[in-house]
């Protein structure tokens, strides 16, 4: 197999390996995985588990309530207890006993004044008249009760029963004493009897006997002097006194009904235990399980459909944002895979915290490091994606940590997650040291604590213990987030070849072994690399490229020169130029090899691929003009022309803005340094000539630099070079010419 065939096969193999990075199918698969992640992360809260269980069987698991339902039995018990506590209602009726006493005395006067009746006749009349008067009196009372409350038969019956059962029976011997009473005796007795009856009937009397026992005492203190008069007044008062307080069953039943209606339902809350492990399932418990759709015989597919649609909405929102984004993640499946992995880690952390959450320890949900995901996304991918992810994580938190079940989302956890996630994005945006992550964690703790205090005070249902626990968990969450991000950063940087700002700052440390080697063995190249770093960083930032990557990439772009330092003019000091004594082809091979040697050295030190790409691509496929024309000059007359391809760098051309900018800065720095006392016009002409030559040579065809950006880069390089060389610039016209060795330096 010849070399061309091997290169072709290697190219196809490389394409197959790298094709997944931009494959639409892989991209859709990753978004589908995100949808599955959302579905299964929320399924435990939104889709109840079902059990194969029968009444009378022993439960093999402890089963918890998945939603809040009314406990009908306990509610009924509470209602009956409330009704039982209601005391019987009594009605106090105006009995008008004074009118009865007046009627009695009127009859006594009338009958005693009738001289045609004998004493025995009068006694017989009295035996009949007194019950009749009592019957007439109670009959009128019943009529008035029926008229005032026709539907209250219970009260009427209660009154009838009480008046009948408590009617006073006048002793037989008293009837023989009534005829002896004179008109004067009756006139003296009547006011006393009225007064006694009135005073005793002012009290509430469910039982008349208690009042009748007090009659003798009141009569004996009256102005009556005759014993017979006192005795008759006592008997008449006892006869007239009746109960006036009667149990009103209708009113009692009404108040008990109101008490039952006013009793709050007893609920089985979400998370309450329905049946313990090893406990027998009663009929009542079985009905509750059926009500909550926890039985396999009654599968409810609506929650699954709802969760599928919700997960789809989450994925669709993220997909549309990524699709409209100008970030490279819209076409780079490697970054999308990293995003999916960050989501997996963040949601896993949230679920782990949720395992310890229950009704007694609901506040532990505040400990979840929700902001870990947004902080990693902000550092490794970009701020816009981090903001969108903050919203998604907030929605997920409000569902995952919602254990009350009254509503789908618990706004407290959603609000906290949104606050800490957005805080993490703003706090980490200019992080350039690991300590910056810790400071961001402290900011997360502070803002999260403020959010929790605000929600707690607004809820107005809290205890000092709850406040302290919520505050402590929130503060701990911020610190835990920082620790996890610091621990996970190296994993993502190594696994995905990510050059985060923190990693780039570490690589720019002069104590790095390769930079120490560059400084000690090739001080000229080291100084050249530092200058290129300054130029490329300024140029990159002017067009929105990664300036820090350009700076660090510039530090390592010529590391391959340490293999043969003396063959590069910046390291020759006072020694002669070795290229003056060797063939142009050999010189070309040595010069070209520094890019390949640099990539190999960077690989040996496990340097990230973007740094290796800059070292490999900063020359692209440019022509080594000095050695090419030298070879043509040394070529015998009539020989076949030397093709330019033999004196070009092997490439590849710059694949990114950063590689192209470093290449421009490399050529500009070498060219301007070769000028003796450069003027402003010389610098501007040199910069634009180098950019134009590379543009005409097709060196920018494989990166996305625009002509407008190239013009901006030229202006920025001019300004930066003017700052570097201002003390040595002479403004007169061009003076010096390039020496023969300058082309080697530009190489």
What would the DSSP string read from start to end of 640-682?
PPPPGGGGB---PPP-SHHHHHHHHHHHHHHHHHHSSS--HHH
DSSP annotation of 636: P
Assigned domain for 17 exists: no
Are 335 and 379 within one domain? yes
Q: Which of 502, 525, 547 is the last residue of a domain?
A: 502
Mean pLDDT within 68-78:
84
Q: CA–CA separation, 46 vs 546, rounded Å?
A: 44
CB 444 within 8 A of CB 371: yes
177, two tokens = 């004493």
Q: CA–CA separation, 562 vs 514, rounded Å?
A: 10
Q: What is this structure's pTM?
A: 0.61
Give the position of tokens 């609000």: 415
- Is the peptide bond prior to 652 cis by the omega test (within 30 degrees of 0)? yes
What would the DSSP string read from start to end of 39-77?
HHHHHHHHS---B---TTPBPSS-EE-SS-EE-HHHHHH
CB 397 within 8 A of CB 364: no
pLDDT tens-place string over residues 370-424: 999 999 999 888 889 999 999 999 999 999 988 765 678 888 899 999 999 999 9
Assigned domain for 197 exists: yes
Cα dihedral value 357, 355, 380, 552, nearest 10:
100
Assigned domain for 204 exists: yes
Assigned domain for 304 exists: no
| pLDDT score, position 398 | 92
Are 520 and 405 within one domain? no
Are 241 and 158 within one domain? yes
Helices then strands, each counted (H, E), the chain: 31, 6
Q: CA–CA separation, 569 vs 577, rounded Å?
A: 7
Q: CA–CA separation, 544 vs 734, rounded Å?
A: 34
Are 525 and 478 within one domain? no
Q: Would you tell me the crossing angle of helices 383-400 and 371-380 to the nearest 10 degrees?
A: 170
| pLDDT score, position 461 | 64
Q: CA–CA separation, 679 vs 728, rounded Å?
A: 9
Are 519 and 456 within one domain? no
* Residue 16 reports pLDDT greater than 50: no
* Residue 141 reports pLDDT greater than 90: no
Are 466 and 334 within one domain? yes
The count of C-alpha atoms lying within 13 angstroms of the C-alpha of 703, restricted to the half-sphere facing its C-beta, is 28
Are 548 and 477 within one domain? no
Are 475 and 373 within one domain? yes
| pLDDT score, position 743 | 41
* Cβ-based neighbours of 287, under 8 Å, separated by 6 or more: none
Strand boundaries in 537-674, DSSP class E = none
CB 155 within 8 A of CB 88: no
654, two tokens = 């710059």
| pLDDT score, position 589 | 86
Domain of 67? Answer: 51-71+268-291
266, two tokens = 């007893």
Give the position of tokens 């200019």: 430
How many other C-beta atoms are found inside a 10 Å radius of the C-beta of residue 153?
A: 13
What is the total count of domains within the chain? 4
Are 216 and 97 within one domain? yes
Mean pLDDT for the chain overall:
84
CA-nearest of 307, 337, 341 to 322 is 337
* Confidence at 309, pLDDT banded by 50, 70, 90: very high
DSSP annotation of 91: E
* Confidence at 324, pLDDT banded by 50, 70, 90: confident
């Amino acid at each position: 197999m010849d070399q061309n065939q091997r290169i072709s096969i290697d190219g196809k193999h490389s394409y197959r390996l790298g094709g997944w990075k931009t494959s639409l199918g892989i991209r859709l698969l990753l978004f589908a995985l995100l949808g599955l992640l959302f579905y299964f992360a929320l399924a435990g809260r939104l889709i109840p588990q079902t059990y194969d269980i029968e009444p009378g069987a022993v439960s093999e698991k402890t089963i918890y309530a998945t939603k809040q339902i009314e406990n009908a039995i306990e509610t009924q018990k509470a209602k009956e207890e409330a009704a039982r506590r209601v005391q019987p209602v009594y009605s106090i009726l105006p009995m008008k006993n004074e009118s009865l006493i007046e009627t009695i005395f009127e009859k006594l006067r009338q009958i005693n004044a009738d001289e045609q009746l004998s004493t025995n006749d009068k006694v017989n009349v009295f035996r009949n008249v007194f019950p009749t008067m009592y019957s007439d009196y109670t009959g009128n009372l019943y009529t008035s009760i029926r008229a005032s409350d026709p539907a209250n038969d219970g009260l009427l019956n209660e009154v009838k029963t009480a008046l009948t059962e408590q009617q006073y029976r006048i002793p037989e011997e008293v009837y023989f004493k009534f005829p002896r009473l004179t008109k004067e005796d009756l006139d003296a007795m009547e006011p006393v009897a009225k007064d006694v009856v009135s005073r005793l009937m002012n009290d509430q009397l469910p039982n008349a006997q208690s009042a009748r026992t007090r009659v003798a005492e009141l009569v004996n203190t009256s102005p009556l002097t005759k014993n017979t008069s006192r005795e008759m007044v006592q008997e008449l008062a006892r006869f007239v006194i009746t109960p006036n307080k009667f149990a009103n069953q209708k009113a009692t039943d009404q108040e008990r009904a109101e008490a039952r209606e006013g009793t709050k339902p007893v609920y089985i809350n979400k998370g309450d235990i329905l049946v313990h492990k090893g406990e027998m399932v009663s009929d009542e418990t079985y009905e509750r399980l059926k009500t909550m759709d926890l039985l396999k015989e009654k599968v409810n597919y609506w929650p699954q459909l709802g969760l599928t649609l919700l997960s789809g909405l989450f994925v669709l929102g993220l997909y549309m944002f990524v699709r409209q984004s100008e970030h490279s993640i819209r076409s780079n499946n490697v970054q999308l895979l990293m995003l999916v992995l960050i989501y997996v880690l963040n949601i896993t952390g949230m679920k782990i915290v949720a395992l310890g959450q229950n009704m007694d320890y609901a506040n532990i949900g505040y400990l979840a490091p929700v902001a870990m995901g947004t902080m990693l996304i902000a550092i490794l991918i970009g701020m816009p994606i981090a903001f969108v992810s903050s919203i998604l994580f907030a929605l997920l938190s409000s569902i995952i940590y919602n254990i009350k079940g009254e509503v789908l989302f618990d706004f407290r956890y959603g609000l906290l997650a949104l606050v800490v996630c957005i805080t993490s994005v703003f706090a980490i945006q200019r992080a350039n040291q690991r300590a910056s992550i810790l400071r961001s964690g402290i900011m997360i703790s502070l803002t999260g604590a403020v959010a929790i205090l605000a929600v707690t005070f607004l809820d107005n249902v809290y205890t000092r213990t709850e406040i302290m626990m919520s505050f402590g968990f929130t503060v701990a969450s911020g610190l835990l987030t920082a620790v996890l991000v610091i621990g996970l950063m190296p994993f993502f940087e190594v696994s995905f070849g990510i050059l985060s700002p923190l990693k780039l700052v570490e690589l720019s440390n002069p104590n790095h072994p390769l930079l120490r080697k560059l400084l000690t063995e090739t001080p000229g190249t080291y100084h050249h690399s530092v200058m290129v770093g300054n130029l490329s960083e300024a140029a990159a930032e002017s067009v929105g490229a990664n300036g820090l990557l350009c700076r660090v990439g510039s530090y390592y772009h010529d590391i391959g020169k340490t293999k043969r330092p003396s063959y590069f003019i910046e390291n020759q000091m006072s020694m002669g130029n070795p290229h003056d004594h060797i063939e142009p082809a050999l010189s070309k091979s040595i010069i070209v090899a520094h890019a390949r040697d640099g990539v190999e050295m960077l690989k040996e030190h496990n340097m990230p691929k973007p740094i290796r790409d800059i070292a490999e691509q900063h020359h692209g496929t440019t022509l080594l003009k000095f050695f090419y024309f030298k070879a043509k000059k040394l070529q015998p007359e009539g020989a076949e022309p030397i093709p330019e391809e033999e004196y070009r760098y092997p490439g590849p051309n710059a694949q990114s803005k950063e590689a192209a900018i470093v290449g421009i800065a490399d050529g500009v720095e070498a060219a301007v340094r070769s000028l003796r006392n450069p003027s402003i016009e010389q610098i501007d002409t040199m910069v634009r000539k180098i950019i134009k030559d590379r543009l005409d040579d097709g060196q920018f065809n494989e990166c996305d630099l625009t002509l407008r950006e190239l013009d901006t880069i030229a202006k920025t390089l001019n300004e930066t070079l003017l700052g570097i060389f201002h003390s040595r610039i002479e403004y007169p016209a061009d003076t010096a010419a390039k020496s023969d060795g300058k082309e080697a330096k530009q190489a």
